Amino acid sequence: MRTLSTRRRHPLAGLLVLAVGLLITGGLYAAVAPKAATAEESASTSDIEAGRQLFLVGCASCHGVNAQGINTEGADGEPGNYGPPLIGVGAAAVDFQVGTGRMPMAQTAPQAPRKADEYTDEETAQLAAYIASLAPGPQIPEERYLDWESVDEEGLAEGGEFFRTNCTACHNSVGAGGALPNGRYAPSLDGVEAKHIYEAMQTGPQQMPVFSDDVITPEEKLKVIAYIKTISEQPSYGGVNGGSLGPVVDGVWVWVVALGSLVGFAIWIGWHGTRTKKR
């Protein structure tokens, strides 16, 4: 004890106490706090490396060589970014953005449109592995959360309720899409893979809010997917539906097709009289 008490005024004693305090606090926090997600471990080192090479060629010009993002100053002095940082976005975000062709972007625009993908499935997986290796983030969903055909009728109705409550305001009641301010839009959900719908809910790409697993559980996400898939694959019971865009399309049909043809008939009827020829 003497050795300790004689050294208690040592210049480094304070630092030591601070270090011990920090260690205890940190240790306790690590033991008690909820377990954080861990970085993708299943991906092989070679995949990560291949992904890094692809990233350096195709993505780094906007997202930075270490995926840290490139910051700029916007026209109005607001901080902006040329490409956002990708550290922590997770494999799900990469799989969604690259798998639906949104990334790489063809040009700067309010929003990246869905287009044919530039990378093969294997390359997409390698890119995802690389990004996932940088920091933990949402992962590509498991197969059992994508098998929407297994959802029963009750689940389908429940998925519909979720869809109408959370999604239709932007995506329209059949997922035909809708406009948002300043040239942005909620894209059509027609023909989007179940996996990508799941990932979009999970990562909230572009204008979309994030629906994390705490808000909508994976099982509920599956029900939403089942509802979207069911209504977009069901036949159009009433005939040609004009993109399910609502009454605007009805107005076009009635003026062009119905009234157009009836005016044609009226001209035909009006033309068939002996006196009209003399007019």
Partner 1 sequence: MSQTYTPVERTATGKKLAGPVGWLDERLGLAGPAKKNLRKVFPEHWSFMLGEVALWSFVVLLITGVFLTLWFDPSMAETTYTGSYRPLNGVEMSVAYASSLDISFDIRGGLLLRQMHHWAAHLFIAAMFVHMLRVFFTGAYRKPRELNWLIGLGLLMLGILGGFSGYSLPDDLLSGTGLRIADGMIKSIPLIGTHVSFFLFGGEFPGDQIIGRLYMVHILLIPALLLGLIAAHMLLLVYHKHTQFPGPGRTNENVVGYPALPVYIAKAGGFFFIVFGVIASMAALFTVNAVWIYGPYNPAEVTAGSQPDWYMGFAEGALRIFPPLEWSWFGSTWAMSVFIPGLGFLGLLFVALGVWPFIERAITRDEREHHLLERPRNNPTRTGLGVAGMTWFGLLWIGGGNDVIALKFGLDLNAITWFLRVGIFVGPVIAFIVTRRICISLQRKDNEVLTHGYETGVIDRSPDGGYSERHAALPIEKQYAVTSAKERPKAIEAPELVDENGVDAPRSRRERLRHRMRRFYYFGSGAVDKPTAEDMAHAEEHLRGSNEHPIELGEDFQGVSETGVPRVH
Chain residues binding partner 1 by CB under 8 A are: 110, 153-154, 156-157, 160-161, 164-165, 168-174, 176-183, 185-186, 227, 230-231, 234, 236-251, 253-255, 257-259, 261-263, 265-267, 269-271, 273, 275-279
Contacting residues for 208 by C-beta, under 8 A, at least 6 apart? 170, 186, 200
- CB of 51 vs partner 1, minimal distance in Å: 33
Q: Which is nearer to partner 1, 211 or 227 (CB)?
A: 227
Length of the chain as a residue count = 279
Residues 6+ apart with CB under 8 A from 5: none
| Token representation of residue 110 | 């309010």
Q: Is the peptide bond before 11 cis (omega within 30 degrees of 0)?
A: no
- Contact by Cβ (8 Å): 143, 198: no
At closest approach, how far in Å is the CB of 233 from partner 1?
11
In the complex with partner 1, the residue whose CB is nearer, 82 or 255, is 255
Burial class (CB in 10 A: 0-12, 13-18, 19+), 11: exposed
* 82/253 with CB nearer partner 1: 253
Compare residues 21 and 113 and give the one whose CB is closer to partner 1: 113
Residue 80: which H helix or E strand, with range? strand 79-83
Query: Residue 207 Cβ, how far from partner 1 at the closest point, in Å?
Result: 12
CB of 188 to partner 1, least distance (A): 9
Supply the minimum distance, in Å, between the C-beta of residue 144 and partner 1. Answer: 22
Nearer to partner 1, 6 or 182 (CB): 182
